[in-house]
Every structure is written in C-alpha cells, then in structure tokens.
Amino acid sequence: MFDELSQLTALDAPVGFEEPVLAWMADRLTRSCDRVECDVRGNLYAWQGNEPNAMTIMVTAHADEVGFMVTSVTPAGYLRVTLLGYPTVMVLPGQRVRILTQNGSLHGVFGVKPGHILSGAEARQVPELGQLYVDVGATSAQQAAEWGIEPGTPLVFDGPLTQTATPGRVFGKAVDNRIGCLCLLELARRVNTMPDLVANVVYVVTVEEEIGLRGAAVATAHIRPDIVLALDTVPAGGTPELGAEELPWEIGKGPLLKVRETRGLSTHRPLREMLRRIADQHGIPYQLIVDTAGITDGTAAQQASGEIAAAVLGIPRRYSHSAVELFDLSDAETLVDWLALLLPELTCREPLMRYKCL
C-alpha cells in the first residue's frame, strides 16, 4: 500500500480544497464501481450494485487534511494565517509548509525566534497562533501578491511519506485520512470480485470532516443507507509521554473498533457485536476504544435518521494533526480484510435491530 499512499499524501487537499484527492479517488474507483458521481458540496460517490430491494451499505473516508489559510500579508511580505481544522499549534515554529496559490505551490516556513536570544522562560513557551508568521522569502507584500498569495490562500504541511527502518511503519503529512481513503479503495477492489455480495455498496469520499463532519451529513441524507461504516485514523498511545490509561491502544496491534466517542457516536451495538464475532472467527486482531478525543463522520451519519446502523473503524496513528503522523500499514491491511469478511454477511436489516417490538 505504500506506493499509492505516497501518491495520496503528496496531494495537497486542505479543508475546502479537496479536489486533488477527489479526482485521484474518482479515477481509481471508476475501475471497480458501476458508476461514480459527485454532489455540489464536493462529496464523491462510487456505487457497486443497484438492487432496489437490497440493503445499502455506505463506506466513508474523508478527503480533507488539516492546514492553514492566509489572513493577511505584512508590508515586509510575511504571511499571517488562521487554521483549517485543528493542526497542532505547538509544533508549528520552524515547520515547513506549502502555499497553494492559483499559480502553483510555493515553499515556506513558520518563522521562529533565534535560540541565541531566547530567554529561559521564553524558550519554554509555545507561541500562540497570532504570534506566528510564515516566511516565503518574499521581500514585500507586493512581491507576495505577484506570486499569487492573497487572503484566502491555503497552506499545508510539507514533507513526503517516509518509511522507517521497521517494515510497514511510515510517517508523513495527511495520513489522516488518506490511509482511510486508500482502505476504502482497496475494499472496493476486493468487493468487485465477490460473487456472493447481495447488498448495494456506496463508497463515499467526504469533504470538510475536519471542521464539523459537514460532507458526511450531506452524503448520508443523499444516500439514505441502512448501514454506515466510517473509516478514519485515531490518536494512539504507546509513546513515552502517554500513560497506558490515557490512550490504551497502539499502532501495529490491529485496527480499532470504536465503542463510543466522547462527544459523538456510540457504535450500533448489534453491528459492533457482528464485527467482533467475525474478527474472533477469523483470527483478526482488533482493539476496542472508548472516549477518544474528537469525533468522526460516523457521528453525523448515525444521526441522519433512525434507520441507520453506524460503526467507526479506525487506524491508530501517533502525532495527530502534525506533519509527521506515524502508523503501521499492517493495521490498514487488516482493516480491509475485516471489512471484506463483514460485507457478505450484511444481507438484511433484522440482525441490526436492537430489540423486537411486540
């Protein structure tokens, strides 16, 4: 999966500017799906099956990555920015970025005060966003404008996907959620060869997840599925600064099955139990997680109607919303295997009912 993920993470698609990822995914989903379409909001839909009486399963992954947006340019040509989503502000000083102008991308860096003149107390402080600026090498605001930089111009972290010395462990920008998109694509390829699948499957690449699950809400209303499976990445523990009680799941130990999000979804219990049964039967390692920070597209989808059973399946990753999110490809590969075993068992709504009415 590394080669395709390298292509996906190299695409620059911050919140509201997801078109490069949507186009890349559309090109490949067309090869495995019956039809591919999009809505005005930007969501991408790829359909397998068109049986009017069959259940509809919606598999989602979001295209957008966290980033920044230019708010103003100083007379000397430095950029002031605001956030697109929630990048980790504490890591920004000295960080490389790409500025996505209409004329092409430019390289820049978040400025940092020279260490030689920082006082002891100041050296230990994390600058607030309003104190930061991006240096693109411009000599004036006029020159920056000539390069195509203006208020509203987006920026993203800069840096290629990088393989560590441990096979399968990689890091880079936009792992959240390009690996979810790649899992969705791999699943579509796998399902395309399944002769026994009776459900209709719709693969949805959503927009604007990082600022409030906006694309997923629109997509679910459009599709009106019976089941939603949201694929996303999740902050992982296992690093020295995190105790086992804070984030007791780690990379390389299997995909994640969310039981509950702190401010969002509770995975539909019958669907969760079905996933666990399948994993146990086939020896698939997985990790249960409860009360993670953040919410996912599954929350917006689940609340669209009372007819939807939703689950969130995650891939653990370290260093969330930074330029160096690190994860293990084996977790993603296992997730695709798990979903491929689940889909043929989703034949009717009855097993999804939490109880039977008299």
Q: Which of 355, 30, 352, 344 is nearest to 197 (CA)?
A: 344
Residue 220's Cβ-side half-sphere holds a number of Cα atoms within 13 Å equal to 27
More confident residue, 314 or 126: 314
Whole-prediction pTM value? 0.93
Q: What is the mean pLDDT of residues 59-83?
A: 97
Angle ∠(145,149,155) on CA atoms, nearest 5:
165
Phi-psi region of 267 (alpha: psi -120 to 50; beta: other; left: phi over 0): beta
209 among known catalytic residues? yes
CA distance 243 to 252: 18
Name the catalytic one among 18, 65, 209, 250: 209
Query: What distance in Å separates the CA atoms of residue 256 and residue 311, rounded to the nearest whole number?
Result: 11
**Contact criterion met (CB below 8 Å) for 333 and 255:** no
Give the tens place of pLDDT for each residue, 7-51: 999 999 999 999 999 999 999 999 999 999 999 999 999 999 988
Q: Do residues 256 and 204 make contact, with C-beta atoms less than 8 angstroms apart?
A: no
- Cα–Cα dist 109/158, whole Å: 9
pLDDT category, 1, cuts 50, 70, 90? very high
Residues 42, 25: contact at Cβ < 8 Å? no
**22-36, 82-96, 291-305, 335-349: lowest mean pLDDT where?**
291-305
Place of tokens 């395309």: 192
Would you give the DSSP letter of residue 356?
-
Amino acid at 353: M
Q: Is the pLDDT of residue 354 over 70?
A: yes
Give all domains of the chain, ordered by start, each with its CATH number.
Answer: 2-65+173-352 (3.40.630.10), 67-157 (2.40.30.40)
Question: What confidence category does residue 306 fall into, taking pLDDT thresholds of 50, 70 and 90?
Answer: low
pLDDT at 157: 97
